[in-house]
Each structure stands twice: as structure tokens, then as C-alpha cells.
Structure 1
Amino acid sequence: MAVSSVDSVPYAGVRWYVGGVYEREVVPASMVKSKSLSRIETGDIVYNRMWATKASFGVAGDDVDGCLVTNDFPAFRADPNQAVSDYIGLLFESKSFQESAAARATGTTERRRLKEADFLDITVYLPPLAEQRRIVDLIGAVDGAIEAADEVAETTAATYEAALQTISSSLYPRVTVGDVLLVAKAGGTPSRKAADYFGAGTPWLKSGEVDNPAIVFAEESITEAGLRNSSAWIAPAGSTVVAMYGQGNTKGTAGYLERPMAMNQAVIALVPDTELIDSRMLFHAMRSRTVSLRQKAIGAAQPNLSKSLVIGEEIGLPERGAQSSLAGTLDSMLDQSSAATDLATSLRSLRSNLLTALLTSEHEIPASYDVLLEGAA
């Protein structure tokens, strides 16, 4: 298509690792140096020949129908008598296809190019059209289930975060965290001598393991001798723990101990006075203060929290009789979000295993599946 025939050019691109064909940008035609470009349509097979080693392959969807590409994005149309374009899109996800494409790319830089002839020369498993449609439909059904599970997880998590804000609002009387505690104590560094430190003993919680509503496990443990030779201490079950420093988004996160554990020096344990606050209420209250605590961290190179900052943080305190019910509601939201996330993870694993089996002829979908296809149509 001649660039001179349009006022603007909606460029399409192809994301790495089979991330899809997308509308990259729209530029005035007067800024385009090329005299001609190619128009792509829904169902076209497109790849970026400069990034074939990054699995930059995809199938155009309705959202990019009519977009334009340069000659660095070869586009093809599947022969309807031999292949379903969406099935070709699934082939792009297979490790064997990606390895074959990368092996055929030529050049001396990271941007080794895959020529059109070499792309078309890649050997793939191409079952009959009916089988291709079954595969596309089955994987599509799993994708729909994954999307639904992700949506439930995201919606429930957002509802939980909104509900947390009520604890920080003026709806309830304000108190400092220290006002509702029996003990607030950070951990220490145990002896690193093998005889003192390693082996069976008390779980030793580090800052990166804190962000968990039900902590029952730690990667390392500290022996009785190790405890004696350190300032570490064992916090009781029912304590809320807070990471005072750590990498990434670790700092300020809160967790809940389901069993007694020794604290790493970067973790403070808050033991609630249960006459004043429900133990789970304290956990959720500290979760509501994560952002605030991070903002108050001190230090130039690596800002950290201190005991005084943590126990000086203000929270809202509902009446004691209402706390268990409110905490239970918040727990249910967390459980629902976690269950949906776990389901999505399981479905992604199922999808990966299914795709591997279906694209290598290890398994075929029976013809009886066509009844479902007809019903969906």
C-alpha cells in the first residue's frame, strides 16, 4: 500500500515471547520514510524477523485489523484448506518451533534475522483441519477459565484492599500499634557455626518470607545452641510479623505466625494483647499500613524501618466485640483471592501440558468433541 494514499499510519508490532500482535503507534504519513507498507488483516500470521530469537511471532486479531507493517514484519495468510490461523498461533508457543526459528536466524548481532524462506521451511505438526479446530477450541476454553479465575482473584484482592482502608479511616478510634501489644521485638543474627546453626530446630523467619497470612514454614531453622549464641528469640503463634527491611517490596509487609518461630534481625514480631485486639485484626491492621510504613522508612542508601516506627504507626480500632467478625470477613476475602490465584496457576499448568501433548500428536481429541463445537456455534 502506498504511504502517499493515507494521512496517518497505524503501525503494528509483534511482542516478544508470543505476546501477540498489537497496535504500536500512529504517526503522520508525512513522517514515514518508506514509500509503501503492508496492511494486515484479522487472522494474518505476522512475525518480526529481527527478533525471531525472542519468539516474536503472532496472529493478528480484530484489534489490529487494518494496521500497517514494514518489511521487517513479514505477513502471511493461512491456506484455509490446510490450516487454521489460530492453530498456527498455538504452534508458535511450542519450544520446538521457537528453537527451530532461532536456529535458522542468521546474522552477527543479537538481532539475527529470520528470512521469510527460512520461516516457511520450519517443519510443524499439522493435523487435519477438524483436529486443528478442536485443539483451538479446547485451549480457548482453558484460556477462558484462566481469564475468569484471574478476574476473580483481582476483583477479590481489590475488594480486600478497599476494606482494609476502613481500618485506617476515621471510622474507628485511633490508637498506636504499641498501645495494643504485649511485646514488640525484632530478631537477631544467630551463630553461623555449623554445629550451632544448621540442622533441625526452630524455624528461623527471614524478611522475604514474611508476606503471608498463615506462616507455617521457613527455609532455615536455628538449633537450641544457635539461639543461645544469638539475640534471636522465638515469637509465639498468633503474632503478627513485619519486615523492617529487605529487597524489592519486602519492607513493610506483614504476616501471621501459625506456629512459634525465631525472628531474623530484619523481622519484628508483634505479640497482641488479645483483651484489646483480636490477633487476626492486628494482622490485617498491619497489612493496611504497609505503604505508610514504607514511606516512613529512614536511611539514605537503603531506607529501613525501626521498632519505634512500627509500633508508633496509627491504626483504627473497632470495638473488641466486633473485631473477630470483621477479621473473619477480611480472612474470607484473602482466602477467595488465594483460591482463585491457585486455580489460575493450576489451569496454566494444565494448558501447558495439554498444548505439548496436542501439538506433538501424543494425544488426539476424539471426534465426539465436535458435538461441543457445534453446540457452541
Structure 2
Amino acid sequence: MFDFKNGFNTDKSSYGKGYKFANVMDVLNNSIITENIIIGSVTADIKSFDLFSLSFGDVLFNRTSEIPEEIALSAVYSEIPEEIALSAVYMDDKPAMFGGFVIRGRQKTASLAVSFLPFVFEVNKFRKQVFKLAQGAVRSNIGQESLNKVTILLPPLPEQRRIAEVLSTWDRAIETAERLLENSEKRFKALMQQLLTGKKRLPNFRGKWVKKELGDIAQMKSGGTPLSSKSECYGGEIPWVSIKDITSTGKYILETERTLTEKGIENSSAFLYLENTILFAMYASIGECCIAEKSVSSSQAILGISCQKSLYFEFLYYWFLSGKNKFKGMGQKGSQSNLNAGHL
């Protein structure tokens, strides 16, 4: 049903200008992609553009992740108003390219309605097949050959369009509810900026603010991932925080999709963070953070930040929240942005 192709890779100097360049974050954050919402850009010659361009209705699959559950997230490209194999559909006719951490799926024939594509790869049966095909130890991944073997249920085209119509109606209802919260969020962000920069002081507080480097008032350590082939390392009582856990939780995190055993901690660079540690995403979803509600571990994509006595952990959490866009800009550019403890 599909022809699959890995994305475009080039040297660092080519990023930042040129064609819009869809990659991991675009797939993780959207089920439908249009040219105007793509984050990155890349310079490429005509031959490379022809090989790695996006057309209306192309499906992008995330091909690599810390854990198998993030493989095959997907997205669709369109003007129409979770990480391996999570998907998104490109619904746009404007020129764009796709990067090396995603796979493009292009229909051989129009057997699937484009409006149906954003939903078809989210079903459990598809995801379970992908999990079984995912390979890798520290970082799971899936390739074109594996995606070719995955089966999907194919209703008649008219039924596909009707299913897509019903699900899209629910999507729009959710979007309406989210827009009602937008004004409150804007006011919250404005107040946060004023309070965290000292531009607005709370009543009865007059003490002088001092500037400190974070490394002087907090301890920082990244986590680790046991080999996936060692089953004795997984399934214990120790929560193991991934990027996906951080992006799907709120201010605090208590439970995670995967857990480690004591052996998982002993046989890897994974580390036990204490309660109230700030967990900060350094890869892909840079700047996302949460607070450990109890002792947890994490993957190497996450930095644990433990505050000293002069720094209140919730204050630091909101400080990170207010500077999220700044931290994203500090990430090292490439197919998948990343940050390191030295930056902080």
C-alpha cells in the first residue's frame, strides 16, 4: 500500500534556512502537518529536494526513540483548518522536506482516504505490531522493511471518509474547549514573567535579588537506560521517566509507563532521583519539565536537578517553564536537537 523512504541527512551548516524541514518534533506534536507549522529548515540542491520532498497526503513516521512505545508516531501534511512509529500526515501543497529521524510513507494507490490517514495508524493493533518489530538496545528504532510488514484493517473508501468525519468532529470539539483556556493561559504566562524577573514584587517583600549560576545552587545528573535485552532490569517498583512521560504529565509525575528493578539501576547508568527533583528534557522535547513526586529514575534524555537550600524547587520549576522557548533555542541543531547539562 505504501512506499517507504528514510529522510534527508546533511551537515550542520545546512540547517536553519531554505526549505521547511519536517522532523521528529513535528511528528510528536501534530497529527496533521502543514508547511507553516514545520519548525526547522534546511538547504538542499534540486536532486535532494526531489528525493526527500513531501507531497499532500504523505505520512511521516518517527523511526527512533528511547523506548519502543515511541516508535511509529506519525503525522499528515495539509492546509486543512507516541515516539517510534508515531505518525503525522502532511496536508499541504507547499514545498517541504523530511529529515533522517523520520520515514516517509507515500501511497502506491489511493486505497486510503487522506482524511482517514491521521487516525488509521493510532489503533492498538498497528502499535502492537510496531512494538514487536522495533529493534535496538538503548534506542529502539524501526525501518522501512519492518513498516512494510505491518498490516492494517482497510474499510471501503466511503466508510473511511465517514469514520474520519466523525472523529474530526470530536477533534474540533476538543480544540474549541482548548481555545477557551487560551486567554487564561496568556494571563498566567504574563504574570509568571513579571514575578520571575522581579518586575512585579509581591506585597511585603523587599529583599534584594541576586544572580547565581544554576550549577552553584543545584546538583545535576542525567539518567540511563538498561539494555532492553535484559528483562530482569524491567518491571520492578522504580518509576523510569522517559520523554514521553514528561510530555504527557502535568507539574508532578508519580507513575510512568515503564519501571525498573534494582538490577536495572545497578546494571546501567540509571540513577535514583529524590522526591522534588526537577526532571528536565534534554533531547527532542527540550525544555519540558516536571517534578518527581517520589523517588524515580529516568532515561539519559532527562536531566535531574536537585535544589540546594537557597533554591526552592517549585520556584525553579516555574522559572524553567517561563524560559521554555529560550531553552529550545539553546539546543544543538541537527536532525534531532539536544541540550546538555553544561548549557544549564
Superposition TM-score, scaled by structure 2 size: 0.45
TM-score by length of 1: 0.42
Q: Which has the higher helix share?
A: 1
